[in-house]
Amino acid sequence: MLKTLVKPVAPNMYRYDEFDAQFVSERVNQFAGQVARRLSGELTEDQFKPLRLMNGLYLQLHAYMLRIAVPYGTLSSKQMRKLAHIARTYDKNFGHFTTRTNLQFNWIKLVDVPAILRELADVEMHCIQTSGNCVRNVTADQFAGATDEEIEDPRPLAEIIRQWSSLHPEFVFLARKFKIAVGATEKDRAALQWHDMAVQIVKNAQGRVGYKVMAGGGMGRTPYVAHVMHEFVEREDILAYLEAVLRVYNQDSRRDNIHKQRIKILINTIGPEEMRRRVAREFEELKRMGTLQLPQDELDRITAYFAPPKFETGLSDVLPDAGPDFANWAKTNVHKHRAPGYAIATITLKTPGQVPGDATAEQMDVIADLMDQFSVGEVRVTHEQNLVLPHVRKQDLPAIHAKLKELDFASPNAGLITDIIACPGLDYCDLANARSIPIAQSIAKKFEDLDRQHEIGELKIKISGCINACGHHHAGHIGILGVDKKGVEFYQLVLGGSGAEDASIGEIMGPGFGEHEIADAVERVVNVYLKARQPGERFLDTYRRLGMAPFKDAAYEKVAA
């Protein structure tokens, strides 16, 4: 029995006020009524489908899937325990953390959904806008408020954007879904440039803090990296500027072709310069009206929710010596914290052989205990399907590592070749053409040897089971796209993508590999890198220097690798 008795800690994060609580409660009651009307036949499936999607409820291959919003990836231990309870009570004892930092349950019954939503509302959670053509869950850097690299914590702005975009009357029926991310460091951990719109908190030449706004990034059938819309938007103008971008998108985007309805298509059709001109015109109009200025006292009020915890002083800033396993884990999974004596710890849900992003109810409960015991009751979900304990004392790291070993979540592989992103794929998803998870598992097992992983160094593999690219294959150093050929799964290799500050779109290598060939092909590609790399080069750097040819020759076995 892994469970320990730990006193819950309330972390510094946004708490619902009366308005929020009433809004979510009314929404639960509204959807409960819609479910009842569907079950009684008062609503047809065609009428009900858009309503359930607005509440994060999909019908997938085996059952309904419920997607729960985790705003900017921040969860309290109380919320984590509730997710464990829902997994145990209403699902098959596990949940799946997604690349949008949400959590999905795969075996939900329609009749149970009202009860689940009520349970979620009890811990200030919901599923609103986790699906449909609206502004989706706002994501942020998972190291927010903990890293010394940031200009300021991006979560207050992310929360303000969440509130502004929740049931915004103009943007409830957009042409397509719209994803926003916020970051505050030069190092991009939130894939900012791959978003429909992104805000990077920056300082101008005078040292004033403001916002760089980007738009038009996106994965899917037609991948694009975002364009800069404005290098520096003043603090009080940020909502007006974001509204201007969304308004231009809403008014000018196509609605006649599902493949051309994202903002990336609009911007790359009219050109970024014309988009900036149209946005500037709307922005001036919004500023002239003066109704969307962000008051400093409201920014201060929201920021206060995210005040840093009281860090102890006088702690040793040295990593404890706790044996080779711990040292290996610390090497990849422990990161620099803003406070001396503290660290940020990544829990990779990627032990080779595991389903990337999955956690059982028992694992969630123990992680909630770790959150309370060691990280002020808080965890972050990352877009790479991992969890992060943001504020841990270095002296506590060995105890955390020991507990994670019991959970089988202590793999020392953050950022390495076995830390693979994979969408649910054809094992669950109604849209998928091929399975993603078994491919991730077979590659992770092939590269399981830790010395080999460290020798290879940073290498991001990202796998999608269809062109919708939920597994971010366009942004993988090595991306893999599953395709269907007459009912049989094949896998295309895509090389040279990046989801970081050096964002780039991966290049398709050529014809796909069979289910049992793809892991070997990946190994041959990696072997080319190991032979050809220059000192200090990551896989991505070597690929950018050499181009596709040598990797392609090796993958298709035209040369030995």
Partner 1 sequence: MLTANRLRDGDVLYRKGDGWVPMLADGDVYKDAAAAEAALATATAELIRNQVVAPYLFEVREVGGRIQPVKEREIIRAAGPTVHPHTGKQAGQVNA
Nearer to partner 1, 24 or 480 (CB): 480
Nearer to partner 1, 135 or 422 (CB): 422
Q: How far is CA 392 from CA 226, 338, 346, in A?
A: 35, 11, 11
Nearer to partner 1, 9 or 431 (CB): 431
The span from the CA of 442 to the CA of 445, in Å, is 5
The span from the CA of 37 to the CA of 32, in Å, is 9
CB of 145 to partner 1, least distance (A): 35
CB of 520 to partner 1, least distance (A): 20
CB of 60 to partner 1, least distance (A): 8
Nearer to partner 1, 335 or 435 (CB): 435
Closest CA to 401 of 354, 356, 345: 345
Nearer to partner 1, 437 or 522 (CB): 437
CB of 69 to partner 1, least distance (A): 21
Q: At what angle do helices 518-532 and 437-446 cross, to 10 degrees?
A: 40
CB of 433 to partner 1, least distance (A): 8
Identify the burial level of 325 via C-beta atoms within 10 angstroms of its C-beta, where 0-12 means exposed, 13-18 middle and 19 or more buried.
middle
On whether the CB atoms of residues 90 and 105 are closer than 8 A, the answer is: yes
CB of 63 to partner 1, least distance (A): 4
Tokens representing 23 are 């809004």
Helix or strand (DSSP H, E) at 104:
strand 103-108
CB of 489 to partner 1, least distance (A): 6
Nearer to partner 1, 187 or 485 (CB): 485
| Strand pairing category for 461-464 and 478-485 | parallel
Nearer to partner 1, 60 or 464 (CB): 60
Residues that bind partner 1 (CB under 8 A): 38-41, 44-45, 59-64, 92, 94, 106-111, 355, 426-428, 432, 434-435, 437-438, 441, 484, 487-489
CB of 348 to partner 1, least distance (A): 18
Nearer to partner 1, 350 or 538 (CB): 350
CB of 408 to partner 1, least distance (A): 16
Residue 288 neighbours by CB under 8 Å, 6+ apart:
none
Residue 541 neighbours by CB under 8 Å, 6+ apart:
533
| β partners of residue 456 | none
CB of 517 to partner 1, least distance (A): 16
Which ranges constitute the DSSP H helices of 290-396?
Answer: 296-305, 324-333, 361-374
Nearer to partner 1, 62 or 187 (CB): 62
CB of 42 to partner 1, least distance (A): 9
Which phi and psi angles does 81 have, rounded to 5°? Answer: -65, -35
The span from the CA of 249 to the CA of 548, in Å, is 36
What is Dmax (Cα atoms) for the chain? Answer: 67
Residue 362 neighbours by CB under 8 Å, 6+ apart:
2, 3, 84, 93
Nearer to partner 1, 40 or 257 (CB): 40
Residue 500 neighbours by CB under 8 Å, 6+ apart:
187, 188, 189, 191
Residue 379 neighbours by CB under 8 Å, 6+ apart:
74, 75, 77, 80, 347, 367, 371, 387, 388, 389, 390
Sheet (strand 180-183) strand order: 139-140, 180-183, 197-203, 209-215, 227-233
| β partners of residue 25 | none
Nearer to partner 1, 484 or 553 (CB): 484
Nearer to partner 1, 358 or 419 (CB): 358
Closest CA to 174 of 247, 96, 232: 247
CA–CA–CA angle 493, 479, 96 (5° rounding): 130
Tokens representing 98 are 């997604």
CB of 222 to partner 1, least distance (A): 25
